[in-house]
Amino acid sequence: MDKTRFRLKSMEEAMGKIVVDVTVSTLSEDGRIVAFDAFVDTGATFLTLPSAWKLKLGDIEVLEQVELELASGEIVEGEICGPVKIKIGDFRQIAGEVLFIEMDAGADGKYEPLIGYLPLEAIPAGVDMLNHRLFKVKAMLK
């Protein structure tokens, strides 16, 4: 399988410190759920989660193996998986995909999942950097 390459920014480069609650759940009847806080990063493409959480969602389909270039230039492997249900903050729930990559937990033992631009466009949300929040925008067709 060909691998697609994406570039991920580090949290130091991430756009601001907007943190939003997120719930990801499976479409299957067992409805496995992972709930967490994630950083908004419009420089990232996908909802990006640590590989350590993949088993919490059970038998989720791997749609594509990808190579990712981190801001440091390091190349890492990732898996795009789905479909899953994604609920970001108070916005409507969407069906989408998640990217799982190996992440190191911070000094506090917590991971730093990222909300990229694809799920933001799907809900659709804008980023208010002055008030550090997401806001509802009109979907546009061009």
Expressed as residue numbers, the domain containing 61 is 4-136
Residue 84 CB neighbours (<10 A): 23
Residue 142 domain-assigned?
no
Residue 47 domain-assigned?
yes
Residue 99 domain-assigned?
yes
> How many distinct structural domains can be found in the chain?
1
pLDDT attached to residue 70: 75
Residue 141 domain-assigned?
no
Residue 60 domain-assigned?
yes
Per-residue pLDDT of 42-81, as tens digits, reads 888 999 999 999 999 998 999 999 999 877 788 999 999 9
Residue 15 domain-assigned?
yes
CATH code of residue 21: 2.40.70.10
79 CB-near residues (< 8 Å, 6+ apart): 51, 54, 62, 64, 65, 66, 99, 100, 101
Considering the entire predicted model, what is its pTM?
0.84
140 CB-near residues (< 8 Å, 6+ apart): none
